[in-house]
Amino acid sequence: MKKHLPNAITCLNLLCGCLALNCIFVGSAAEPLRGLELGAYLVALAALADFADGLVARALRVSSAIGKDLDSLADMVSFGVVPGAILMQLLRQATAGGAWSDWLPYAGFVVSIFSALRLAKFNNDTRQSDSFIGLPTPACTLVVASLPLILTHDRFELAPVLLNPWLLLGLTALLSGLLVAELPLFALKFKSLAWVGNQRRFLFLALTAGLLLLLQAAAVPLVVLLYVLLSVPRRRARQQGG
């Protein structure tokens, strides 16, 4: 039974992604932001499941080719299709009544295309066993999913900024580029709880907790930016060493 447990958790990831899509499209008909908000919470659950399946697989020392493929297929739904759907709905709201409102919102699915490229690249890149090259799809999706949460609980009155179509298109282009960029990023995989060798991870988790306590959903884009910035010293060290 234990060899099937990681796959069961992966299927939970997939289920959360499917339910998120239902909320985004069906729930958005009556209350657009409410549907997107529910979808964002389900994406967060999918991200937890995505983290847990690998953790459980390593703890039980079980792995399989089917598990790897299943993980990628689940990720394509939860962290590929879902962020594209959220961006599409936000762009639809941002361009409502405009000349480009009939077709411009579909540009959000550019993120879905680049997510597929990212996942295919990850599955065939032997350099990414202990680190990442390019922004992981869950991190990209959490940035996108944070937008409806920020708009629903708009403590900082960011709605006019976030519902600007040019900002949304710029964010779409930026995230798409980061997904496939040759940018080395550290992985949050702890081989031990010792400080030595895990300094960057502990620092990142501590700063993340502080930002989330202060800013809540508005902290998520900053957390991902912090993740990229903390990876820069590692990249420079590799370049100097090579």
The DSSP code sequence of 208-219 is HHHHHHHHGGGG
pLDDT of residue 189: 72
Question: What confidence tens digit (pLDDT) does each residue in 185-236 have?
Answer: 988 776 666 777 778 889 999 999 999 999 999 999 999 999 999 987 655 5
Whether 67 shows a pLDDT value over 80: the answer reads yes
Show me where the domains of the chain are located.
Answer: 2-187
**What does the pLDDT average to over 13-22?**
96
Is residue 132 very low, low, confident or very high in pLDDT (cuts 50, 70, 90)? confident
pLDDT of residue 122: 87
**What is the separation, in whole angstroms, between the first and last Cα of the chain?**
45
pLDDT of residue 241: 44
Average model confidence (pLDDT) across the chain: 89
Lowest mean pLDDT among 41-50, 168-177, 178-187: 178-187
Report how far residue 14's alpha carbon sits from residue 35's, in angstroms, rounded to the nearest whole number.
Answer: 18
Is residue 242 very low, low, confident or very high in pLDDT (cuts 50, 70, 90)? very low
- Nearest-5° Cα angle at 54, 52 to 57: 105
The dihedral over CA atoms of 103, 104, 110, 111, expressed in degrees to the nearest 10, equals -130
* CATH number for the domain running over 2-187: 1.20.120.1760
